[in-house]
């Protein structure tokens, strides 16, 4: 789109021509009869008067047009498109982020670089802009004045395509009343300079406004456009620009940051285990196969065996944040083929509860800090996706599996003592626990041995159960963990009992034959934590560029 878009309206002289067109014909009065001489004379006078007026108007308009065309635009240095920034210059200009604008800066002139979310001219002397940078929006306006802002400049501002990026110099002004439609509502910007940094050159697949509606918006106006998930994901680079999505990914980053803060403070060492592995070592066919020079290799389904190798290698306590690959053909709202695993594995001294409770405390640390340090982002997400703040206790609730089974049975569920929980049962359990204990977060301990992987340590008193746990958030699993078998003899027994091929596991078992401390750990799905924490209904909303069996683009 360019500045030529506004087609010229009919000119004043065109209008005059229309009016005088009928004069040569016989003229009839309102009663349908020819007019009297007197009446004709009067009409003639009126016509002359009108014609003169039109002439004058036409002359004025023509002069104005000529003047405008000829006149030196006194604002010409204050706006424009300077072309591609190839780092031609450096200056000591101070730049301000939109989110940092505040009433305390009133009357200061600030420099901003931001997107034009909308541009709305009012007459030809004024233009309102909504400027957006990441999770912040602010209202800006240009008003013609005789020193620095010309009509040409206002026209230029009005014609900037939405989503273009501009730089402005502007005075911070306190508005008469707060600008409710912007996140920064207590100030507005009176622009004095405006330059294009990057102009949008193609139509957008959907508008940022349409991608930003909340359920309440649709309630108030059901005719609003809806952007379907697939459309959003196909145009993810646009979709991610909404302040909501910007905030979701700030929260995703925050979860990682807080996970690390807690663990590093606790003496846990970060590791990076290989993702290319030689065999589908954890069993199961859900691994992706790679061509690796003249042979094949596989993508790691989890860092499980490697993080345990680090325990056998005396790393003590380790964590890893890395992609995890699952070749499961599951097309659900909560499965991805590639997700971010937050894994940890820790030596304990006496009992695996040392680690289980540490992980519980870590989650409480994450939840608590999200609420305080990321309050702004949470508020923004909840505008579009309303959710109740998470309920949890300072010391996380621990439930035993058998008690959960009893609770479910009490409420009419049919479930065997050693059966795994189905997804609906997990949700129901979440509701029952919420009702009884007023918490959205709890740890379910002592799972049946039969439903856990081969490397899970059996319970010492009842081998139907195991030293393993899942953590639940709003009734859905976010972490699975356990004490692992560190004794090679017992490990081989379990491998044999489960009829697993031990051959690809020999390196792993060797680690324990060389001596290994008792240890426990767990694996967290980052996207799931963010999804359930924010009460979102699809995991694709919390993955930057989601991957599922049908999607590997963009």
Q: How far is the CB of 58 from its own copies (least distance, A)?
A: 41
Which residue's entry shows tokens 């905030």?
Answer: 247
Q: How far apart are CA 255 and CA 214, in angstroms?
A: 24
List active site positions. 326, 328, 334-335, 477, 480, 528
154 contacts its own copies (rule: CB under 8 A): no
Q: What are phi and psi of 219, to 5 degrees?
A: -65, -45
Among 133, 282, 343, 477, binds its own copies (CB under 8 A): 133
Q: How far is the CB of 279 from its own copies (least distance, A)?
A: 9
Residues between 331 and 370 with contacts to its own copies, criterion CB under 8 A: 337-338, 340, 347, 349-353
* Among residues 74, 195, 288, 418, the one that binds its own copies under rule CB under 8 A: 288
CA distance 166 to 343: 42
- Candidates 60-68, 386-394, 470-478, 482-490: pick the segment binding its own copies (CB under 8 A): 482-490
Pick from 77, 147, 293, 394 the residue near its own copies by CB under 8 A: 293
Q: Is-contact 130 118, C-beta < 8 A? A: yes
Nearest distance, CB of residue 349 and its own copies, angstroms: 5
Contacts (CB under 8 A) with its own copies, residues 167-186: 167
| In the complex, least distance from residue 124 CB atom to its own copies, rounded to whole angstroms | 26
| Residue of the chain from 291, 372, 394, 410 that contacts its own copies (CB under 8 A) | 291
Taking a C-beta distance cutoff of 8 angstroms, is the pair 168, 193 a contact? yes
Count of CB atoms within 10 A of residue 124's CB? 13
Q: Are 185 and 136 in contact (CB under 8 A)?
A: no
Q: Which stretch binds its own copies (CB under 8 A): 143-151, 303-311, 361-369, 381-389?
A: 303-311
d(CA 330, CA 550): 10
Interface with its own copies by CB under 8 A: which range of 25-33, 148-156, 323-331, 425-433? 323-331
Which is closer to its own copies, CB of 325 or CB of 533?
A: 325
Nearer to its own copies, 186 or 199 (CB): 199
Using the rule CB under 8 A, is 554 a contact of its own copies?
yes
| DSSP one-letter string for 393-405 | -SS-EEEEHHHHH
DSSP 8-class letter at 459: P
Q: How far is CA 127 from the centre of its chain?
A: 30
Q: How many CB atoms lie within 10 A of CB 487?
A: 14
- In the set 487, 492, 500, 535, which binds its own copies (CB under 8 A)? 487
Site residues for its own copies, 98-117, by CB under 8 A, read: 113, 115
Q: Which of residues 187-246 bind its own copies (CB under 8 A)?
A: 197-202, 204, 236-238, 240-241, 245-246
> What backbone phi and psi angles, to 5 degrees, belong to 110?
-120, 160
A 10 A CB-CB count for 23 gives 11
- Is residue 301 at the binding interface for its own copies, with CB under 8 A as the rule? no
In this structure, the strands spanning 295-299 and 317-325 are unpaired
Which member of 516, 529, 531, 541 binds its own copies (CB under 8 A)?
516
Helices (H), 215-352: 215-220, 229-234, 236-239, 243-265, 304-312
Are 174 and 186 within 8 A, CB to CB? yes
| DSSP three-state, residue 265 | helix
Contacts (CB under 8 A) with its own copies, residues 374-393: none
Find the part of the chain contacting its own copies (CB under 8 A) among 170-178, 386-394, 420-428, 451-459: 451-459
User: What single DSSP character describes residue 173?
Assistant: E
CB of residue 271 vs its own copies: minimum separation in angstroms?
A: 6
Which residue stretch of 91-99, 151-159, 364-372, 431-439 sits at the interface with its own copies (rule: CB under 8 A)? 91-99
Cβ proximity to its own copies, 24 vs 91, nearer residue: 91
Size of the site for its own copies (CB under 8 A): 111
* 87 lies in the site for its own copies, by CB under 8 A: yes
Neighbouring residues of 116: CB distance < 8 A, sequence distance ≥ 6 = 129, 130, 131, 160, 161, 162, 163, 164, 165, 166
- Decide: is 515 part of the binding site for its own copies (CB under 8 A): yes
Q: Does 278 help bind its own copies (rule: CB under 8 A)?
A: yes
In the block, tokens 């991805």 appear at 336
* Two structure tokens written together for 544: 């930057």
Q: Of these, 511, 522, 523, 525, which contacts its own copies (CB under 8 A)?
A: 511
Question: Smallest distance from the beta carbon of 165 to its own copies, in angstroms?
Answer: 5
Q: Which of residues 35-64 bind its own copies (CB under 8 A)?
A: none
What is the three-class DSSP state of 362? helix
């Amino acid at each position: 789109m360019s500045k030529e878009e506004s087609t010229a309206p009919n000119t004043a002289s065109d209008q005059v021509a229309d009016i005088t067109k009928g004069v040569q014909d016989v003229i009839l009065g309102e009663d349908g009869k020819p007019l009297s001489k007197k009446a004709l004379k009067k009409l003639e006078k009126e016509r002359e008067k009108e014609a003169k007026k039109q002439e004058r108007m036409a002359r004025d308009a023509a002069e104005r047009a000529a003047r405008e065309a000829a006149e030196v635009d006194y604002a010409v240095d204050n706006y424009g498109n300077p072309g591609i920034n190839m780092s031609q210059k450096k200056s000591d200009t101070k730049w301000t982020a939109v989110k940092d604008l505040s009433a305390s800066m009133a009357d200061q002139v600030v420099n901003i670089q931001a997107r034009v979310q909308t541009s709305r001219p009012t007459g030809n002397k004024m233009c309102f802009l909504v400027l957006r940078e990441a999770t912040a929006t602010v209202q800006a306006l240009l008003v013609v004045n005789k020193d620095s802002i010309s009509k040409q400049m206002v026209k230029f501002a009005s014609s900037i395509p939405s989503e273009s990026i501009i730089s402005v110099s502007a005075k911070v002004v306190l508005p008469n009343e707060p600008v409710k439609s912007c996140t920064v509502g207590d100030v507005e910007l009176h622009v004095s300079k405006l330059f294009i940094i990057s102009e949008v050159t193609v139509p957008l697949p959907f508008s940022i406004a349409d991608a930003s509606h909340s359920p309440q918006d649709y309630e108030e106006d059901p005719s609003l456009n809806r952007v379907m998930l697939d459309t959003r994901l196909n145009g993810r680079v646009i979709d991610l620009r909404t302040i909501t999505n910007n905030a979701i990914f700030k929260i995703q980053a925050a979860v990682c940051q807080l996970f690390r803060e807690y663990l590093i403070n606790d003496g846990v060492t970060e590791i990076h285990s290989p993702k290319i592995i030689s065999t589908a070592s954890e069993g199961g066919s859900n691994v992706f196969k790679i061509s690796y020079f003249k042979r094949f290799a596989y993508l790691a389904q989890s860092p499980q065996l490697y993080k345990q190798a680090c325990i056998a290698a005396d790393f003590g306590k380790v964590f890893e944040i890395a992609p995890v690959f699952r070749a499961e053909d599951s097309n659900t709202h909560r499965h991805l083929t590639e997700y971010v695993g937050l894994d940890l594995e820790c030596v304990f001294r006496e009992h695996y509860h040392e680690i289980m409770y540490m992980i519980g405390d870590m989650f409480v640390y994450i939840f608590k800090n999200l609420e305080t340090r990321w309050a702004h982002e949470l508020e923004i997400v909840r505008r579009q996706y309303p959710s109740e703040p998470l309920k949890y206790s300072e010391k996380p609730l621990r439930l035993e599996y058998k008690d959960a089974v009893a609770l479910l049975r009490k409420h009419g569920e049919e479930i065997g003592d050693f059966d795994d929980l189905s997804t609906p049962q997990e949700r129901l359990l979440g509701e029952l626990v919420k009702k009884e204990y007023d918490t959205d977060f709890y740890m379910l301990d002592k799972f049946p041995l039969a439903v856990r992987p081969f490397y899970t340590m059996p319970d010492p008193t009842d081998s139907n159960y195991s030293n393993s746990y899942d953590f639940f958030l709003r009734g859905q699993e976010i972490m699975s963990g356990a004490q692992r078998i560190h004794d090679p003899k017992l490990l081989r027994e379990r491998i044999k009992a489960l009829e697993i091929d031990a051959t690809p596991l020999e390196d792993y078992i060797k680690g324990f034959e060389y001596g290994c401390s008792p240890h426990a750990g767990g694996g967290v799905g980052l996207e799931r934590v963010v999804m359930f924490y924010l009460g979102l209904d699809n995991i694709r909303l919390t993955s930057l560029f989601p991957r599922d069996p049908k999607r590997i683009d963009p």
